[in-house]
Each structure stands twice: as structure tokens, then as C-alpha cells.
Chains A and B, each alone.
Chain A
Amino acid sequence: MKRLLLPSPRLAGTIRPRRWALAAAAFAASAGAGALWATAQAETSARQLAQTRSALAALRAELAEAEALAAALPDALARWRRLEQAGAFGPHSSSRWPAALRQTLQRDIRAQVTSAHFSPPRSLGGEDEHPVVLASTLALELKLVHEGHLPALLATIDTNAGALVRKRRCRIERLRERHPDARSAALSAHCELDWITVDAGLGGSTR
């Protein structure tokens, strides 16, 4: 004899007539889970794509700037070296003449510096925290025997200034009162010179 085993026939009887509905519900649940997963995948991929686009745009901008700077670099280096040669780099010490220049001017009998006054330094620009370009204006009062002595004196200043010197203006005028001695001054001159220095964080270190 056999003992018939009908595990939970009540449950089986409840499930059997509804098996297709349950299968449809299970299919719907699976499809819903799949839809949720696919939505998450789409959102993730969209986010990753946006990140990639953003990174690419940033890199394009970086490359464009780098290319522009690379194109400007050779000319900039050439100009920079010219400034180095012209003595533009150094500390701005407009409070005193360089000692060598003062001594040279004192020994020059052709021109007499009667007055030399430096204005307070002013900034000519440059990027923040970077080479500071300073300029002071030197106002020179001179007595000259001959106008031809002025270029020589200005050239001496150029050579020994320890700065970049730009002549802004000069005025020469014949003196009304003149000592009959031919060696005495016949002319007065007033010159204004820009005393320019670049206090370099870059200094002269260029590639």
C-alpha cells in the first residue's frame, strides 16, 4: 500500500488555477526589475558620458592655451633676452645711484649734474605675484659746456645704471649769462629718464 503524499494540496489547489497569472506577475516583476536596472545603466552611462565630455572640453581649452603660448614663446624669449642684455633685471634701488655711476659722473668735467632726483617707484604692470616691473623717473639738471656732451653723458648713464633707462624728454637751452671762459657751461639741460627694473621671480632664467 502506498501512502499518498500530497504536500499542501490546499496550496497546490490555490496556485494551480492561478498559475498563468502568477507566471505573468513573475514575468512583469522580472521585466520591471530589468527596466529599473536598464534605467540605472542609462543614467550611469549618461553621467559618465557627461564627465567625459567635460574632461574633453577642458583638455581642448588647455591644449588651445598651450598651443597659443607655445607659438608666442620664441618671440617672447627673444625679447626677454634683449631685456636681459639691456640690464632690465635686478633690484629696484632708485634711492641711490649705483656707486660706480656716481663716481663716473663726478669725474666728468664736460657735464655737471647740478640736481638729480628720483621719483617714488611706480608699477608698470605684470601679473600678480610675478615679476614686478617698477619705474622711477630721474629728473636731471645739468650744466653743459657743449650740447655734444649730453649724448655722451646719457650714454654713460645707460651703461652704468644697473637698470633699463629710457629717455623721456630733454630740454637744452643756452644760458643767457655766460662766463667768458670757454670751459665754463654754456648750456643748461633738463632731462627726465625712466629708471626701469624687473624684479624677477623669473629673473633671467629662461629656456
Chain B
Amino acid sequence: MKRPPVLLKVDEIGLELFELHPHGVRTLASFARGETAALTGWLHEHPPAAALRAVVELGAEAFELEELPRVRGADRRALLARRLAASFPDPGFASAKVLAGSAPSAPAHSEHLLFCGLSETSAIEPWMEALRAAGARVSETVPASSLAAHLGAGAPGSGAALVVHFSRAGMRLTAARGGQALFSRLAAGFPAAVAAADARWIDEVALTLDYLAGVATLALPATLPVFIHADADRLAGGDALHADARVGDRIEFVALPTAHASAQGDPPARFTAAADAALLHWLAAAPPGLGWTAGGADRAGRRRRTTFAFSAAALALALAASASAALDWTQARAHERERRQLHTQHEQLRRQLAALATASADERKRVRQMLATLAALADAQLPEISTAALFRWLADALAALPPNSLHSLEWQWQAASEPGLAVEIGLATPADDALAARSAPVHGVGRLRRDALIEQLRAHGAVAPRTVEASAAALRIGFELPLALFAGDPR
């Protein structure tokens, strides 16, 4: 089970350790001023499981407002360090905070800084040393004035106010604006137990209000609201305070919300315990960084620089992402426009296709098959030269030959470059033509007859008539007859 957080409270009386439970605060140990060795011994016996948080309720807290030139970087850090060292003995218990807005008379390029911290650290240093010696780590050391300003001044952004709270050490009055303490004082004469019986604590409130009204640099409103963190019936004169002419019209009591589990004794004692418990609850609820650190303003400045750098990086990333998004978006729109145009074209082409006889894939397949078949039958689709037409042509071409001269006739269809017939005729050599068979001059006469025949064939349209064989036994003439020669002939 997680242990409840351990809280410290340091005041002029001493140091107390508490444990914060959901049902209230429980006191673990209490040490009077000077009992540092006892604290160390106790911590050795009860080592804390986690870092401690401490609230400091001391009267030696000073607040100084100053206008300084606005500088950055190392110059700023050095300026603030010098200023804190000049006003506070231990800058570890001091801080510099930038206040929003500047005084009307402030020079340009300057900033309004609040330097606050302990002007005297003898009440706290020994305790811190004892804690370090015991190995205890303190993560936050928060002045009670900062707690009051941050958590006791009404809703965030509600404006300036005077926050009054009580403890065993006294009554603290803190002027706050924007969660920041501008001024604070501890009226040690009016701890909770005294204020429960002595109504003169009201005078301290009025005195403080008068003082604050006279501090022009704080620029607080004339009627500063006052939040008193206590039950009105526990304070002397509390019930009648609203009738007080000095403060009655601006007073608001804020009930103490927490209980002190260890509270015992009479009403003032229980009031003290409840007031201390409320302060401790403020401590537990305080955000990190509210307490003192060395070079507080510089830390704040580093935090601001870090935040600025992060913000700048995030903004740059966002701009780059936005630019990329814009580019992608533009591209997507361009794609969409083109897609619509192409879709329109697609529809037009579909309509064109639908209008064709070959629109369907099946029909195109049939036509392709038909064309393939026709290609295979290309030769068969050419008109033929009929045998009768061939015979008629031969009869005309060979009319000059004696009857029965034709011994053989051969023809062959050719569908090459020019369709037609390749023809070869064989002519009989007369058996009793002894002259032609025996004498050279007769050969010359035979050649003359052959040449005349070839000319005759050529004259009738034969192409390339030539002698295939010319011998005593046979005479064969070859030639081509183009298809065009028989164009008018029925097949």
C-alpha cells in the first residue's frame, strides 16, 4: 500500500512532520527550535519513502519590486543572480518573478520583477542541514505566502485580494494577484490560539489594508477583497466582523476544509490544529515550482525558454504538417478532377462501343473466328480458271498448229504473287519429218516454228513463254496464264 506523503512545517517555534491521510492530517513528530540532532535521529529511525515537501512559515520574508532592463540569456541570469545576492543572504531561499505589466513611469524595454525571499535564514538553515545529514530529500520548500497567494485568493483570475490565514506561528496576511504573492507579513502576536480569544487581530487586517493602499507600486485596488481562512465562529469577533466599518464590506470567511486527526484539547487548540492542517493541505496541493529554488526567475526563464522552444517546434511541425496536408489535399482534388474527366470519357467510349455490331465480346470472338477461317481459305476464295476456259484459250492460241499437234497438256494452279495457271504444253514432233530430224538447217527451221509458236502464245496473253524442252523426241513449251486473262469467264 502506498504510504501517505510526509510534509514538513518550519516556523519560529520549530519543525513538525505530518502525514497526510484522506481523513485528515496526523502529526508524526514535533521538534522545538534547536533540536536538529533529534530530528536527524528520528529520520534515521523513520526514513521517508519519498522526497519531502516543506512549508516555511517565518516572519523574515521580504518583498521587493523593481524595474530592470529586459535582457536575455546569460546576461539575464547574471543580473538576477547579482540582484538576489545583494538583497538576500541565501539565494536558495529567494526567488525573482516577472510580474505582468509595468508601472506607467517604467522605461521602455524593461520588466517588472518581484524579488522575494528570506531576509534571515537562521531559523531554517539548521533544519535543512539536519535533513541533508539524515539523507532526507526535500523536493519543494514553499513559503506560506506563496501557498496563500496561489491557493487561498479565490478562483483563478479573480483579481487581487488579501489572504489571511492562521497557524501556530501567527496570522499571515498576504496580498496576492494572479496567484502571485506581492506582499506578505506574519503577525506573530496573533497565532490561531490568540486570535480565537483576542479580536484585535482585526486591527492587523485593517492596518495591512491601509499599508497596501499606500504602496503605489503594487497598484492594488482601493477596496481589496479579504479572504479569511477560518471559521468565523472560531475567531474572536468573527461573527461581528461584517459590521466593522474598516473591513466589514469586503470580508469573506473561508471554512477550513480539513481536519486534524491528532487534534485534542480546547477549541483554540483544535482551531490551531485545523489551521495548520489547512496549510498542510495547501502544501500538498501546490504545483511544482511554487517553492524556492536558486535563481528562481532564471529557472522560470529557462522554463519559458524551454516552453517557447517546444511551442516553436510544435508550431513548425504543425505548419509543416499543414503544408503537407494542403499539398496532399490539392493533389487529391486534382486526382479527383482528372478521374471525373476520365470517367466521362469512359462513358462516351462505352456508348460508342454499345453502338457497334461487335459490341459484345462473344460477337467479336465470332468475327475473329470467321476472319481466321477466311484467312485459312484465302486461296480457295480466289476464282478459278475453269478447265473449259483454259481449253478455249488454248484453242485460240494454238489455232495455227496442225490438228493433233498437242501431245500433252499440263496445268497447275498457283496462288503466289499473281494467281493463275502454270501451263506446259507438249507438242508432237512429226514422225516423218526426217529433214527436221537429220539436218542442221532443218533444226533452224524447227526453231523458227518454235519461236513463232512462242510469239503466238505471247500475243494471246501468255506470260514468259519459254522452251522447256526441245529435242528430237519432244518439244515442250511452258508459260503462265494470269487469272486476269480470264476475268470475264464464268467459272
Contacts and interface: CB of A to CB of B under 8 A. Distances in A.
Interface stretch (B101-109, B311-319, B459-467): B311-319
Interface stretch (A74-82, A90-98, A99-107, A108-116): A74-82
B132 interface: no
Contacts of B371: 69, 72, 76
Interface in B247-306: 252-255, 257, 284-290, 303
Interface string A23-58: 011011011101101110110111011001101100
Interface in B44-100: none
Given A45-B333, A194-B380, 10 more contacts: A1-B232, A1-B254, A4-B154, A24-B312, A34-B321, A38-B329, A45-B332, A48-B335, A56-B349, A63-B353
A21 B314 contact: yes
Contacts of B217: none
A87 B367 CA distance: 20
B387 to A, nearest CB: 4
A63 to B, nearest CB: 5
A48 B333 CA distance: 12
Interface stretch (B22-30, B182-190, B339-347): B339-347
B110 interface: no
B434 to A, nearest CB: 21
A28 B391 contact: no
B124 to A, nearest CB: 23
Interface in B340-370: 342-343, 345-346, 349-350, 352-353, 356-359, 364, 366-370
30 contacts: A2-B254, A4-B154, A11-B287, A12-B156, A13-B287, A14-B288, A17-B303, A21-B310, A25-B310, A31-B317, A34-B325, A35-B328, A42-B328, A45-B332, A46-B332, A49-B335, A49-B342, A59-B349, A65-B364, A66-B364, A69-B358, A70-B357, A76-B371, A83-B377, A83-B380, A133-B376, A148-B391, A155-B388, A171-B408, A202-B369
A32 B321 contact: yes
A41 B150 contact: no
Nearest to A66: B358
Given A9-B285, A9-B287, A167-B413, A133 B373 contact: yes
A76 B367 CA distance: 8
B377 A196 contact: yes
Nearest to A11: B287
A101 B366 CA distance: 33
Contact of B372 (A2, A88, A127, A169): A127
A32 B286 CA distance: 34
Given A59-B349, A168-B413, A198 B317 contact: no
A6 B155 contact: yes
Nearest to A27: B318
Contacts of B156: 6, 12, 16
Interface of A: 1-4, 6, 8-14, 16-18, 20-21, 24-25, 27-28, 30-32, 34-35, 37-39, 41-42, 44-46, 48-49, 52-53, 55-56, 59-60, 62-63, 65-67, 69-70, 72-73, 76-77, 79-80, 82-83, 88, 124-127, 130-131, 133, 147-148, 150-151, 154-155, 164, 166-174, 194, 196, 198, 200-202, 206-207
A200 B370 CA distance: 10
- Indicate the size class of the contact surface on chain B: 35 or more
Given A14-B288, A41-B328, A166-B413, A79 B252 contact: no
B336 interface: yes
B179 A13 contact: yes
Contacts of B223: none
A65 B334 CA distance: 31
A27 B314 contact: yes
A173 B428 CA distance: 11
Nearest to A125: B376
B254 A4 contact: yes
B335 A17 contact: no
Given A1-B253, A56-B345, A70-B356, A45 B286 contact: no
Given A16-B156, A73-B358, A46 B335 contact: yes
A126 B335 contact: no
Interface in B132-188: 150-152, 154-156, 179
A49 B338 CA distance: 7
A2 B252 contact: yes
B358 A45 contact: no
Contacts of B324: 35, 38-39
B353 A66 contact: yes
Contacts of A131: 369, 372-373
A28 B325 contact: no
A169 B424 CA distance: 11
Contacts of B284: 10
B227 interface: yes
Interface string B183-206: 000000000000000000000000
Nearest to A191: B387
Contacts of B448: none
Contacts of A20: 307, 311
B410 interface: yes
B381 interface: yes
A9 B287 CA distance: 7
A164 B336 CA distance: 60
Nearest to B342: A52
Contact of A170 (B155, B285, B411): B411
A173 B409 CA distance: 7
Nearest to A130: B369
Interface string B457-486: 000000000000000000000000000000
Given A66-B359, A79-B381, A168 B339 contact: no
